[in-house]
Structure 1
Amino acid sequence: MNDYTEIIFLIASFSLLILLAYLVNKVDYTVQVKGTNSWNSVSHVIQALYACMFLLVILIALLTPTKNMYTIALIFVSILGLSFLIPIVRKGLAKVIPINPHSHVHTFALLTSILIPTTLFQSLIVPTSLSEVQQENITLVSTLSSIWAQNILCAVFAVIGVGYLTRRNWQQTRERLGLSRLTFKQLLGALAVAVVFVILQWGLTIVFTQLGLSEDQEVLKVNEALMAPLFNSAIGIISIGLAAALGEELVFRGALQPYFGIILTSILFALTHSNYGLSIGTAVVLVLGLGMGYFRKRYSTTYTMVIHASYNILVGTLDYFFS
């Protein structure tokens, strides 16, 4: 996939998700505020599209010649996605996490969240090899364009997804996403937490290594090859921090956590960082996600945005000087 094709694919896929998020919020608005069901059919069409997609994924997984644990996992998560279309399943889930089983928005959020493991397991059935990555023309411009495009689109998706332009004005949207001004003391606290997280990551890596759970070298080399342009420049390191803080935090800690809870949100967060294989790095990201989930609940999403940006920049800087 060349640079332009990747950017076009990102814009097209996220634009579709943003449009669907707008539509399901419009449905809930007409039901909850206007008291009419005039938009219900729109939500049913969207749910039917998800059902078709999950059924197609199951069929492809069953027919694929490559069979491994990820094939089974792909079939399982697709069946899970289909189950979220059943009201009684959502009612049962509502006893565990604070969702409204009758909300079209919450149903859409559940269905869309399944896209994360679905995409992951699809890519791991036939994982990207180091030789394939080395054949690609990976430049700083293309990598920067990709990371910023993805995270800006994620931010827009989060904003529209919680009801901006339909059910909420901008102030209400900010409050829903947990965006608030930090005091100087909170800013210093977030920076200190980022330093602790860097030390924690280092300690966990040592512990896992001592337990014989070392990183998959193929996965490690693929990640290094893909991220090399970013980690070899100041603008790249800063972008890794700022872009992720914008997009990932607004989606996970801002939009999802209040209803999905810290644990489920952190699992989804960890899976998004496992594009090229599950490894001890996935476990480390899960622990860090749980930590940021705690600080989101105690303070705000703005607080975790500072933690996330500072952590990524610190890790990138240390990698640049000591690798």
Structure 2
Amino acid sequence: MDRNAFHPYLIALVLLGAALALVAAFSGDPQGDVALFFSTGAQVAPIFVIALLAFLALDRPRLRPVVAALTVLFVLSLALISWFFSLAPWLSLMDVEEPPLDLVVALASSLLLCLGAAGVSLLGFSGRVRIRLARYLPIDPENFVHTVALVIVAALALLPLVPLMVLGYPPLLDLIGNPAFALGPLTPAEAAKSDAYGLFWTVIGAFIAVGLFVKRSFTGALQRLGVVRPPLRSIAFAFAAGLVLVLLFSLVDHVIGAIWGYFGWYVTDEGYMRALFGSYLTPLAAVVAAIVAGVGEELAIRGVLQPRFGILPSVLVFASLHAYQYAWDGVLSVFLAGLVFALLRERTNTSVCAITHATYDLVLFALLMAGIGWV
């Protein structure tokens, strides 16, 4: 498909949708389904807008400084979010005249770590850095889209880990019960609705991130993402693989927990996990959450990132994006699960990975609902 033969009206519609999502997100608590729909999209809108503009900039060099500026703004915004999460235990003390020493240390250390991670991410704009990385990653150091993607991927892999480095435990542990922040538990219906909206935006974002409307046709985008119609044999394999992974990671998680306990490190608490996922412990919410995680995460990580950046960077992003809610033991478990999904993607396709992932998550939720415990 010729890059010049894009559909301008569809591109305008995407940009309008992203703008509405960002406006809804910054307008306060969403009221009504329409507001919730657009505010949910704000989580991914910046990335797919930058991706769309980066593809357009391939033939429009004057657009490149704008895209670069938006990319820098995205990285700095992500750094600010991580800095906020790093200060979770002390947010109620921010206005005191004489802040405690722990708060001062956390302010300084988290700021330095956020700025350092952001600085490392922005090194992707350096041609020398990209040339060296191209020896190990399947990227074109001269391709502007690859340049922008490299910066964003580095930021997503590094910055969410900062709160864990500062606190040693998931920042949501302090925020989830804080009435001053809208991070409390949702009702099962609200959780299912929010997840369904999130999946819609993630799917749209994934297709745009691989150049739909600009570089690739719809069929070409499906091929790039590794999305196929799997035969019944592959579907059965995916279901079986999901069940096997539940058993495998039941053992893996217990081993990790034993190691963490031996050294006295913080272990993700089962009570916290129940509070975190309590909104999903109904059949409908569990099914929706499993499908959203399976399709959304696999499409974004194994579909968009892995073919371009390889296994290790994509798995690092996959694990890092769970760092706001899990402690280091949970992040390690997610990293190992990501490796399994990445290898499965190498041998099959994204569709099989999505079914396997959804099955894995659904079984975990079913076990929790049955009172068996967090596996």
TM bucket by the smaller chain? 0.7 to 0.9
Matched, 1:198 2:246: yes
Cα separation, 2, equivalents of 1:314 and 1:58: 34
- Where 2:172 maps in the other structure, the secondary structure is coil
- Where 1:182 maps in the other structure, the secondary structure is coil
Matched, 1:254 2:275: no
- Letter paired with 2:66: V
TM superposition shift of 1:55 = 6.0
Correspondences of 1:144-223 after superposition (within 5 Å): 144-213=192-261, 216=266, 220-223=270-273
Matched, 1:43 2:73: no
**76-85 or 251-260, which moves further after superposition?**
76-85
Cα separation, 2, equivalents of 1:298 and 1:271: 24
Specify the alignment match of 2:55 in structure 1: 25
Provide closer, same or farther for how the CA distance between residues 13 and 131 of structure 1 changes in structure 2, counting only shifts above 3 A: closer
Provide closer, same or farther for how the CA distance between residues 40 and 224 of structure 1 changes in structure 2, counting only shifts above 3 A: farther
Task: Kindly indicate whether the alpha-carbon contact (under 8 Å) linking 2:79 and 2:159 is maintained by their aligned counterparts in 1.
Answer: no
TM superposition shift of 1:41 = 2.0
Specify the alignment match of 1:229 in structure 2: 279
- Where 2:213 maps in the other structure, the secondary structure is coil
Matched, 1:108 2:148: yes
Provide closer, same or farther for how the CA distance between residues 147 and 58 of structure 1 changes in structure 2, counting only shifts above 3 A: closer
Matched, 1:78 2:108: no
Q: 1:128 aligns with which of 172, 184, 204?
A: 172
Provide closer, same or farther for how the CA distance between residues 234 and 215 of structure 1 changes in structure 2, counting only shifts above 3 A: farther
Q: Residues 233-284 of structure 1: CA distance to partner in whole angstroms, max 9, x if unpaired?
A: 0011101211112211111000100121111111110111221343211111
TM superposition shift of 1:51 = 3.0
Specify the alignment match of 2:95 in structure 1: none
Cα separation, 1, equivalents of 2:270 and 2:111: 22
- Letter paired with 1:101: P
Q: Residues 275-307 of structure 1: CA distance to partner in whole angstroms, max 9, x if unpaired?
A: 134321111111111011011111100110110
Task: Kindly indicate whether the alpha-carbon contact (under 8 Å) linking 2:161 and 2:323 is maintained by their aligned counterparts in 1.
Answer: no
Q: Residues 203-250 of structure 1: CA distance to partner in whole angstroms, max 9, x if unpaired?
A: 0112123324488467654443231011x2001110121111221111
Gaps of 5+ in 2: 1-27, 88-103
- Across the two proteins, how many residue pairs are aligned to each other? 311
Q: Give the alignment's Cα RMSD to 1 decimal.
A: 2.8
- Where 1:211 maps in the other structure, the secondary structure is helix
TM normalised by structure 1 equals 0.85
- Letter paired with 1:96: Y
Provide closer, same or farther for how the CA distance between residues 122 and 113 of structure 1 changes in structure 2, counting only shifts above 3 A: same
Matched, 1:296 2:336: no
- Where 1:91 maps in the other structure, the secondary structure is helix
Specify the alignment match of 1:318 in structure 2: 367
Specify the alignment match of 2:96 in structure 1: none
Give me the identity figure in percent. Answer: 23
Cα separation, 1, equivalents of 2:318 and 2:51: 20
Cα separation, 1, equivalents of 2:364 and 2:185: 25
TM normalised by structure 2 equals 0.74
Provide closer, same or farther for how the CA distance between residues 82 and 115 of structure 1 changes in structure 2, counting only shifts above 3 A: closer
Specify the alignment match of 2:42 in structure 1: 12
Provide closer, same or farther for how the CA distance between residues 130 and 139 of structure 1 changes in structure 2, counting only shifts above 3 A: farther
Q: Residues 34-88 of structure 1: CA distance to partner in whole angstroms, max 9, x if unpaired?
A: xxxxx11212211123335546877996xx8424765554233211111011111
**161-170 or 10-19, which moves further after superposition?**
10-19
Cα separation, 2, equivalents of 1:56 and 1:161: 20
TM superposition shift of 1:137 = 5.5
Gaps of 5+ in 1: 31-38
Specify the alignment match of 2:130 in structure 1: 90
- Letter paired with 1:46: V
Matched, 1:272 2:302: no
Q: Residues 148-196 of structure 1: CA distance to partner in whole angstroms, max 9, x if unpaired?
A: 2333212211100101101111111111000112122211111111111
Cα separation, 2, equivalents of 1:2 and 1:153: 19
- Letter paired with 2:321: T
Task: Kindly indicate whether the alpha-carbon contact (under 8 Å) linking 2:127 and 2:141 is maintained by their aligned counterparts in 1.
Answer: yes
Task: Kindly indicate whether the alpha-carbon contact (under 8 Å) linking 1:191 and 1:310 is maintained by their aligned counterparts in 2.
Answer: yes
